[in-house]
Amino acid sequence: MTDIVIYHNPACGTSRNTLALIRNSGVEPHVVEYLKSPPSRALLVEMIGRAGMAPRDLLRQKGTPYAELGLDDASLTNDALLDAMIEHPVLINRPLVVTPLGVRLCRPSEAVLDILPDAQKGAFAKEDGEQVVDADGRRVTPA
């Protein structure tokens, strides 16, 4: 059984689509509602590093205290940005997915296909109707 973790917000369509794509590969992931159970600072640092990102790359601006906290200040250190994400987990962009093949911020949701060890089991369309996987389990490339 493949061990996959998704840091998920059920109120987010991109997060719901990503979770559904993981399940479409035949895997039931470990779902962490990160607003209720945020990752530790050490785990967050590890995931950011494994994803090849900088803390700023994981910051969510929309619907968060990003502006109020002055996080657009380019002189802020990575430690200061991490402190803000730990204090305000809503600042952590989602969904963040961890698989044996890597860690990825799955925006758009189909980015998860790059790190899923198991093939898609059938067709998949996003909530908005956009076809992402065909009936044979192959990724659909936009025309």
User: Cβ distance 96 to 107 under 8 Å?
Assistant: no
The pTM of this model reads 0.94
Domains and CATH numbers, the chain: 5-133 (3.40.30.10)
Q: Which of 4, 6, 12, 103 is catalytic?
A: 12
- Looking at residues 49-53, what average pLDDT do you find? 97
pLDDT for residue 142: 75
- Looking at residues 116-130, what average pLDDT do you find? 96
**Confidence at 70, pLDDT banded by 50, 70, 90:** very high
12: annotated active-site residue: yes
Question: What percent of the chain is modeled with pLDDT above 70?
Answer: 98
**Confidence at 1, pLDDT banded by 50, 70, 90:** low
pLDDT for residue 34: 97
Pairwise CA distance, residues 142 & 129, whole Å: 13
User: Cβ distance 19 to 116 under 8 Å?
Assistant: no
Within 13 A of 39's CA, how many CA atoms are on the CB side?
24
**Confidence at 141, pLDDT banded by 50, 70, 90:** confident
